[in-house]
Structure 1
Amino acid sequence: MGNTIGLNNKNRNNIKPLSMSNTLTAIFLEALVLSGSMTANTNREKELIIWLAQRDQEVVGIGTVGFDIDELPWTTESFIAEKQFLLKALDNAISGFEWSKLSYEPNNVMVIRRLDHFKKMIIEFEVNDVDEQQYLDWIENNDQDETPTIPRGYPKCENHNILLSCHGCLICNNEY
């Protein structure tokens, strides 16, 4: 099994979907969420990282966290800023930013290769690919649920300083 991240139904510039083992997916997400949590300033930026943190296989199930780029909670109004933020977070993750907070030494080559592939997908993604209904569906029940989709106040983990999702800390959940 494993997980696949796709650009969308348009295979621009022959960018193939990103396929990863379950373990590599967890490391990929931890590196990106670490970087994004340290880079996010606006609520929209924090929401993008929280959405990624919710792809927590320890909670939702191994091999079930693949997605297409258009499923991210993009908005057309802030698309350019959201895309620039994700690219900055990816650049930081590729540079190993905050990896010292992990309890293990990731295989740099494998993780960086996947982060770079994901970056190429984000670069190719365009505003006319945005499906704002994804964002609306994601936040729809935020104020009605006992455990909101987006934790109120955008709290961070005391141990790892990453944004918490409705599942808690992505890194704490994966530590054994």
Structure 2
Amino acid sequence: MGNTFWVSERRSGEYVKMSNGLTNVFISTFGLAATRLAGTDGERRITYWVLEHDQSARGIGTVGFTLAEAPFDPASFDTGREFLLRATAAIMDRSGWETLNYAPNVDILGRAVEEFTGLVQRVTPMDLDTAAMREWLAASGPDEPQFHGFPTCPQHRVFLTDFGCHPCNDGQWSRDTS
């Protein structure tokens, strides 16, 4: 089954597919890298949004997304996209990997990161689904961690979501697909 990640619904031919195990590893390593890089609330919000795509809470094979729905600030779209590009590059610099209880398969993860980076490079301000962004923010409850200073997991130093720490949750998965 797996998960699919798109630029936007209008550009459905531009996508990356990942197995469920690879999705967990990708999102965990993205979260590790992005949390360490995030310097603005906009960058923290994008990181938090990606980390919310947690199969341990939402179900396996159900966390694919379109980049057009990410909470980019349309006024500073280029800055948000550059942040995503820096974060995906930092995955392959192994940022935060020392906190994991497994070693990601660099070859498999590297291909996924390369393909995902291509999606990020292709997303444009015209792709943004601002209604989806507003809906996501409106659906966020006042008790969610993003409204309380973006706390982090003490073990992994990654932003916590309503579902907890993605790498901690990811620990329940087998590493044979990573």
TM-score by length of 2: 0.90
Structure 1 residue aligned with 2:39 = 41
Structure 1 residue aligned with 2:87 = 89
Structure 1 residue aligned with 2:6 = 6
Counterpart of 1:154 (choices 150, 154, 157) is 150
Aligned residues: 171
Structure 2 residue aligned with 1:23 = 21
Q: Residue 10 of structure 1: CA displacement?
A: 2.5
**Unaligned stretches of 5+ residues in structure 1:** none
Structure 1 residue aligned with 2:67 = 69
Using a 3 Å threshold, how does the CA distance of structure 1 residues 140 and 93 change in structure 2: closer, same or farther? same
Structure 1 residue aligned with 2:166 = 170
TM-score by length of 1: 0.91
| CA–CA distance in structure 1, aligned partners of residues 142 and 76 of structure 2 | 29
| CA–CA distance in structure 2, aligned partners of residues 18 and 114 of structure 1 | 8
Summarize deviations over 1:96-149 as a string: whole Å, max 9, x none.
Answer: 22212111011100101101111111111111111222221111143xx36427
Counterpart of 2:100 (choices 99, 102, 119) is 102
Q: Residue 164 of structure 1: CA displacement?
A: 0.8
Q: Indicate if the aligned counterparts of 2:152 and 2:159 stay in contact, CA closer than 8 A.
A: yes
Q: Which runs of 4+ in 1 moved over 6 A?
A: none
Q: Residue 5 of structure 1: CA displacement?
A: 0.5
Q: Residue 94 of structure 1: CA displacement?
A: 2.0
Query: What amino acid sits opposite 2:46 in the alignment?
Result: L
Report % sequence identity: 30
**Unaligned stretches of 5+ residues in structure 2:** 173-178
Greater Cα offset, 108-117 or 133-142:
133-142
Greater Cα offset, 26-35 or 69-78:
69-78
Which runs of structure 2 are paired with 1:116-135 in the superposition (5 Å)? 116-135=114-133
Query: What amino acid sits opposite 1:66 in the alignment?
Result: G
Classify the secondary structure of the residue corresponding to 2:63: coil
